[in-house]
Amino acid sequence: MDTTRNRLIRVLQEHEGAYVSGQYLSDQLGISRAAIWKHMKALEADGYEIDAVPRKGYQVRQSPDKLSKNTLNWQLDTSWIGRKIIFEKEIDSTQMLAKALADQGAAHGTVVLADKQTSGKGTKGRSWHSPAGTGIWMSLIIRPEFGPREAAQLTLAAAVALTRAFRKEGIDAEIKWPNDIYLNEKKLAGILTEMQAEQDYIHHIVLGIGININQKEKDLPPDIRDKATSLHIETQKEWKRQELIHLIWKELESVYAHYTKAGFASIREEWMQLASRLGRRVKVTTPTAIFEAVFQGIGAEGELLLEKTDGLTQRIYSAELEWIEE
């Protein structure tokens, strides 16, 4: 349910560039003009620049370049993602909180975001370096209508959505199977999908996304500087995180809608177009073996397709890939 503050932000946004009278806002929101004034002061405390002129009303001159629930609601144009936002300045892990909220019944599309994580989670229990003010650390609660067999495909679909968003910003990112986004041979973003399900029914999926945005090289831990990157490192410019978040949410909605209506086939086709190192040799590590093969892409269910030395294609559902330099 929309809060009064969210509704106020949307009314101001609809009249962006113009003054809106306190009486009009009072009538629209069903609260007193004194309450409107208090909400405006709260927005100013959050960094909004607001002109208040007698007999003309209020005008938002500029929204702040920072993450908060208010700034994330400003110019939000999604159908279901982010309509409920939980924002924390600092948290151990957005994924942990989102899973707890999902267990308590949090709605489809709820997003947990943090400016800083102290125990950010990656795949296979790895940590994710998540300092304040530099990245996008968020987890999305999804309550899908498809079954557990299709859940792994959601990670691949989310990778397509993220890569679409980057490319719309002129960033030639690529997907590394199954859940990483790479830029110039280094890791830019990661996706973590965790599910609560029964044999034939998914209670919820929590889709965690971590993206390095404004880190400088010195901000990255020394042990990952040769493996990881950020948008700032690659472009030498500062990025507005809330604008990227909105774009990513729109692309996630678009891909999810297409996937649920048309299935995985077209998502797979786009994934193949965005894949990194297609047709190149890779080192493959599975729970039972380590071997080299040629990466052929993904199959109809999202499984890994590999051409082995005997020329036969092998399908693998769980593995780690390491690129072999040629």
Q: Residue ranges for the binding site for biotin?
A: 117, 187
Residue ranges at the known binding site: 117, 187
Residue 220 has, within 13 A of its CA and on its CB side, a CA count of: 22
3-state secondary structure 27-74: HHHCCCHHHHHHHHHHHHHCCCEEEEECCCEEEEEECCCCCCHHHHHC
Reading the block at residue 57, the tokens are: 């009303």
